[in-house]
Structure 1
């Protein structure tokens, strides 16, 4: 079950901000896209939001592209990101019927077959497309069977606001450090637990290193370990924008959970990296290029 969140979870002086965000969220998406135009202009041309990080990531990921092409992708990213921001805010008030129309899971039968076998499924996603809409859409298509791992925020207001936003459609939210305990508790019950698996793993996480977008890249290995320990199945989730405000979500099987994958071979993580790389290359602006994905470097071996 999703966690109830009340205004008592944060200090009273955040209430005006809560009312403002709720008011904005209640506006039609077509109106919110007007605000997205303003956000785009501010981020791309006034604040130049993380411009050095964005351009550096793009140049390293697409060394074959000219500087004109890199700048074009960067502008596309800022427009994409501005749309995603208002779409995420809209989750706070959007109706189930409208979300069903706007975020369609194309092949739900893949998970339904695994649920019928009472298997837990690790759904590996990324910061591509509108990643926040995936979990809410999944909660509508798979009632009481969709959960997501998240990293709690330090600000009490935004923690409460985002919890409520993410759980409105019935999704279960699992703090990152409680992932294993939650999976053990729910063992034997068919359900999906999503993980954003493209986070920047640090040396202390003992990551799996692989070539990703022409760069030596560390990945968390939790999916490999959890699948081996608990017999979880695994799937990749991709999302693409059909047109403004409308998305198609696609699931791809990675592991059926019936055999044990040696975690030290990192087969799930490697498969995830290749599928994500394919999706990014197909639509470069739709990835979160402002994230410092490559801030860690592999330690030299003695």
Structure 2
């Protein structure tokens, strides 16, 4: 992958969305070219608007934090909430920067501490599952993973309804060589990838509804339903599973750590979900250590156990 971006050769020049989105595309690309100090100055403006003017989803953020940290005072909840909005604003401009950031720079900004956890499986020609979440900069997980790992990287995602933003976000997420797979095509993609060196990435903290037959457990002091795709896919394809943790070290720099949850060979029970449960426990640990880096605007607990 080239370390520079030639806009004339990017998919964005082939319009697959209504023409009236072209000015927005032009503006977004111009903003993406701004230097980092200017982008982070804009992030501070976004932070001020979200946290103090619009108070974007503040009721959701506050309720999520209060229920997750019942031991914390209102002042502490307020502090974490404000820190989250600042983090979220920085993630927004960092994600936009993917449009023009050289690959070498992205690899420098996201350090994968222990890629050997996955590489030993790739050396054996095996496919693996990577379970990540809306923590740290989740948009840099797939893109930087494609640069750090010696295997192909696929991300399972839910397509956006807006044609322009679907096209633009697909471009950002695949610029470094990763591929995207709609959720409905997950099984087909896994079948086609059998026997290949590949990591299939799942954002596994999405809220699963009753119709999804979720695994219910206590997560951040609340009843939470999780998709069980990881356990079912690992059992079907005999593939190892790793938990992907990403945290901000300082502004614009992150560390990714891989933790093996399943080796791909040991028998898995048919009446429980140990991989999903292990993912939940690791994610909970990360959130408690760096609470401001989790996506608290997400209505994670909107479904109730029946």
TM-score, normalization: structure 1? 0.96
Give the structure 2 partner of residue 19 of structure 1. 26
Q: Within the alignment, does 1:35 sit opposite 2:42 as a pair? A: yes
Structure 2 residue runs without a partner (length 5+): 1-9
Q: How far has the Cα of 1:8 moved from its partner?
A: 2.2
Alpha carbons 1:237, 1:252 under 8 Å: kept: yes
Q: 1:199 aligns with which of 198, 203, 206?
A: 206
Q: Within the alignment, does 1:67 sit opposite 2:74 as a pair? A: yes
Q: 1:116 aligns with which of 123, 138, 152?
A: 123
SS in 1 for 2:225: strand
Task: Quote the Cα distance in structure 2 between the aligned partners of 1:263 and 1:136.
Answer: 34
SS in 1 for 2:271: helix
Q: How far has the Cα of 1:157 moved from its partner?
A: 0.3
Give the structure 2 partner of residue 209 of structure 1. 216
Give the structure 2 partner of residue 58 of structure 1. 65
Q: How far has the Cα of 1:4 moved from its partner?
A: 5.5
Q: How far has the Cα of 1:264 moved from its partner?
A: 2.9
Deviation string, structure 1 residues 184-230 (Cα, Å, up to 9, x no partner): 00101121011000000000000000011100100000001001111
Structure 1 ranges of 4+ moved more than 3 A: 3-7
User: Pairwise CA RMSD of aligned residues?
Assistant: 1.2
Q: How far has the Cα of 1:142 moved from its partner?
A: 2.0
Alpha carbons 2:151, 2:199 under 8 Å: kept: no
Q: 2:298 aligns with which of 283, 291, 296?
A: 291
Alpha carbons 1:5, 1:163 under 8 Å: kept: no
Q: How many residues align?
A: 297
Q: In terms of mean alpha carbon deviation, does 139-148 or 85-94 score higher?
A: 139-148
Q: Within the alignment, does 1:105 sit opposite 2:85 as a pair? A: no
Task: Quote the Cα distance in structure 1 between the aligned partners of 2:162 and 2:267.
Answer: 40
Alpha carbons 2:151, 2:197 under 8 Å: kept: no
Give the structure 1 partner of residue 280 of structure 2. 273
Task: Write the mapping of 1:202-281 to structure 2, written as runs, cut at 5 A.
Answer: 202-281=209-288
Q: How far has the Cα of 1:72 moved from its partner?
A: 0.4
Structure 1 residue runs without a partner (length 5+): none
SS in 2 for 1:280: helix
Task: Quote the Cα distance in structure 2 between the aligned partners of 1:261 and 1:144.
Answer: 26
Task: Quote the Cα distance in structure 1 between the aligned partners of 2:303 and 2:286.
Answer: 23
Alpha carbons 2:119, 2:150 under 8 Å: kept: no
